[in-house]
């Protein structure tokens, strides 16, 4: 019996300990994390897998460039053979072994521009991939800022909904008090209660939208979706003074995708250079040494026949396809078509960039105007609601007037916060459209204007 009691005590302690541990863990998980906009962007840049993928692409391009440059150096090749031969000789079975070894060195001297074109293309591809990495970072930054602003907008909508609930709660108290003394009808109480229920439902929906927005922001940042965040920044308004023309010009010089498109043109032109190498002769220096015998690595001392199978060569080899049935011409024409395709794609990228900049800029300016007008509307709606309340309390206004004024106030506040959201999100979209750098000064990688055409 005593053993059973001790066992039960230990079991209870373990259960309570487990519950306490779970509670502490839950409390730790429930603790919110303060997050500024800048911190959210940096977190996303550190965790995003598309960036990691682009980093691997850049590393691959670096090694491809290394490979292309090394192709202009010497190569040393070792070849070894071992054969066994059998048959009859003078009605006697014969079996012999033969070993051969060749050590050769080859170095290109002139390739007609083929290796030079390959090296140029590899250099360009490496820079294009570095620009691609910056482009990936800019996309992640824009997506993070958009998600952060959406969460702030959802947070503001909670404030609007909560203000409506608070306002209607006070008004309902006033209506009940007047109904108790018989100065208003029952319909006023019922109407206010319905309006109150609708406001509470709006508050529930607003909180749910905020939870979804936070989960989306966590997903963009690479954090667990249930991480609780305390967004410390707000939707602010600062006048944007840069004119559209300057924004467009900046985008044409700094957008990574525009610069990448120019690089694709230059890479295609390097391909033409490589294709034209088929018209030219190829010159290389070669040297080799070979030996053969009955043993894998025979020597003059152990195999007298070895000295008759030991030789070396050194010289220059020239090869020229004088007629290749127009294969080279076909390659050249194909490469020129690739250049035309790349040039068309580059121009399309520039025009798409111009449109993206203009769209974001116009949205920004429209939101900027809306901020001023909606702020005035909020002030007037607040004044109108106060007047409606005073009139109702004095018995010269109706409950419908109060309900209508409250709805207009909530709508005006919603419009104001929406204008702030549109302004900030349009500003983020404009930064991305212009190619505002994240980690790389892309202007240093811009091709000369002649090469970019």
Q: Which domains does the chain have, with CATH numbers?
A: 34-71+111-280+323-452 (1.20.1600.10), 75-109+282-319 (2.20.200)
**pLDDT at position 31 over 60:** yes
Distance, CA of 63 to CA of 54 (rounded, Å): 14
Report the C-alpha gap between 10 and 32 in whole angstroms. Answer: 35
Q: What is the DSSP string of 136-159?
A: HHHHHHHHHHHHHHHHHHHHHHHH
* Structure tokens, 78: 């070792």
pLDDT at position 95 is 64
Rounded average pLDDT over 140-144: 95
The reported pLDDT for the residue numbered 188 is 92
3-state helix/strand/coil string of 387-422: HHHHHHHCCCCCHHHHHHHHHHHHHHHHHHHHHHHH
| pTM score | 0.81
To 5 degrees, how large is the angle CA 129–CA 252–CA 258?
30
pLDDT digits (tens, 9 = 90+) for 337-354: 999 999 999 999 999 999
Distances from the Cα of 408 to the Cα of 209, 299, 391, 403, 413, angstroms: 22, 105, 17, 9, 9
Tell me, what's the pLDDT at 21? 39
**pLDDT value, residue 11:** 37
Contact 296, 99 (CB under 8 A): yes
- Interaxial angle between packed helices 114-180 and 186-221, expressed in degrees from 0 to 180 and rounded to the nearest 10: 160
239-248, 383-392, 442-451: segment of lowest average pLDDT: 442-451
CA-nearest of 92, 449, 414 to 258 is 449
Q: Could you give the maximum distance between any two Cα atoms of the chain, in Å?
A: 139
- Which residues make beta-bridge pairs with 315? 286
Cβ neighbours of residue 183 closer than 8 Å, sequence gap 6 or more = 395
114-180 vs 327-393: helix crossing angle, rounded to 10:
10
248 token code pair? 């467009």
Mean pLDDT of the chain: 87
| 78-95 exposure pattern, b = at least 16 Cβ within 10 A, e = fewer | eeeeeeeeeeeeeeeeee
Mean pLDDT in residue range 154-165: 96
Give the confidence band of 453 by pLDDT, cuts at 50, 70, 90.
very low
Q: What is the pLDDT of residue 140?
A: 95
CB 268 within 8 A of CB 117: no
**Under 8 Å between Cβ of 442 and 256:** yes
Residues 84-101: tens digit of each pLDDT: 776 665 666 666 778 889
Output b/e per residue, 177-191; b: 16+ Cβ within 10 A. Answer: ebbeeeebeeebbeb
| % residues pLDDT > 90 (the chain) | 73
**pLDDT score recorded for residue 306:** 45
Q: Which residues contact 203 (CB under 8 A, 6 or more apart)?
A: 158, 161, 162, 164, 165
- Helical spans, DSSP H, in 181-302: 186-221, 244-254, 256-276
- Asked if residue 235 lies in contact with residue 371, where contact means CB atoms within 8 angstroms, the answer is no
Integer angstrom CA distances of residue 275 from 61, 124, 267, 272, 338: 21, 17, 12, 5, 12
Q: In this predicted structure, what is the pLDDT of residue 213?
A: 97
Does the pLDDT value for residue 276 go beyond 70? Answer: yes
Give the span between the Cα atoms of 280 and 321, in whole angstroms: 8
Query: pLDDT for 258-267, tens place per residue?
Result: 999 999 999 9
Q: Which of 193, 222, 248 is nearest to 362 (CA)?
A: 248
Look at 307 and 164; give whichever has higher pLDDT: 164
In degrees to the nearest 10, what's the CA dihedral of 360, 363, 369, 374? -130
């Amino acid at each position: 019996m005593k053993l059973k009691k001790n066992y039960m005590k230990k079991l209870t302690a373990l259960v309570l300990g487990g519950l306490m541990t779970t509670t502490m863990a839950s409390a730790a998980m429930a603790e919110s994390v303060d997050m500024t906009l800048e911190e959210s962007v940096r977190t996303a840049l550190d965790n995003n897998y598309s960036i990691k993928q682009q980093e691997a692409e850049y590393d691959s391009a670096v090694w491809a460039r290394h490979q292309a440059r090394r192709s202009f150096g010497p190569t040393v090749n070792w070849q070894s053979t071992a054969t066994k031969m059998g048959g009859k000789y003078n009605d006697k079975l014969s079996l012999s072994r033969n070993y051969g070894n060749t050590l050769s060195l080859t170095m290109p001297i002139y390739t007609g521009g083929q290796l030079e074109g390959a090296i140029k293309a590899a250099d360009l591809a490496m820079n294009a991939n570095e620009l691609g990495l910056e482009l990936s970072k800019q996309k992640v930054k824009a997506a993070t800022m958009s998600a952060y602003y959406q969460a702030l907008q959802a947070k503001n909508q909670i404030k609007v909904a909560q203000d409506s609930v608070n306002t209607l709660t006070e008004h309902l108290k006033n209506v009940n008090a007047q109904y108790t003394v018989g100065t208003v009808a029952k319909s006023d109480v019922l109407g206010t209660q319905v309006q109150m229920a609708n406001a509470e439902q709006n508050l529930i929906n607003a909180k749910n939208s905020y939870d979804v927005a936070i989960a989306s922001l966590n997903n963009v940042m690479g954090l667990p979706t249930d991480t609780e965040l305390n967004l410390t920044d707000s939707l602010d308004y600062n006048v944007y003074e840069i004119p559209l023309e300057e924004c467009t010009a900046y985008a044409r010089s700094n957008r990574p995708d525009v610069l990448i498109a120019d690089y694709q043109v230059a890479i295609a032109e390097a391909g033409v250079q490589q294709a034209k190498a088929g018209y030219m002769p190829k010159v290389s220096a070669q040297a080799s040494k070979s030996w053969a015998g009955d043993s894998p690595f025979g020597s003059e001392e152990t195999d007298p026949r070895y000295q008759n199978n030991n030789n070396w060569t050194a010289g220059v080899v020239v090869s020229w396809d004088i007629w290749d049935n127009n294969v080279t011409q076909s390659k050249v024409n194909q490469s020129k078509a690739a250049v035309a395709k790349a040039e068309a794609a580059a121009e399309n990228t520039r025009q798409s960039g111009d449109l993206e900049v203009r769209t974001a800029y116009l949205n920004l300016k429209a939101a900027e105007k809306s901020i001023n007008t909606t702020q005035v509307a909020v002030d007037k709606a607040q004044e109108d609601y106060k007047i409606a309340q005073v009139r109702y309390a004095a018995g010269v206004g109706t409950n419908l007037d109060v309900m209508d004024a409250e709805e207009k106030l909530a709508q005006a506040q919603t419009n104001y916060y929406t204008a702030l959201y549109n302004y900030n999100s349009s500003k983020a979209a404009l930064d991305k459209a212009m190619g505002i750098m994240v980690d790389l000064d892309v202007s240093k990688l811009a091709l000369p204007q002649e090469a970019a055409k």
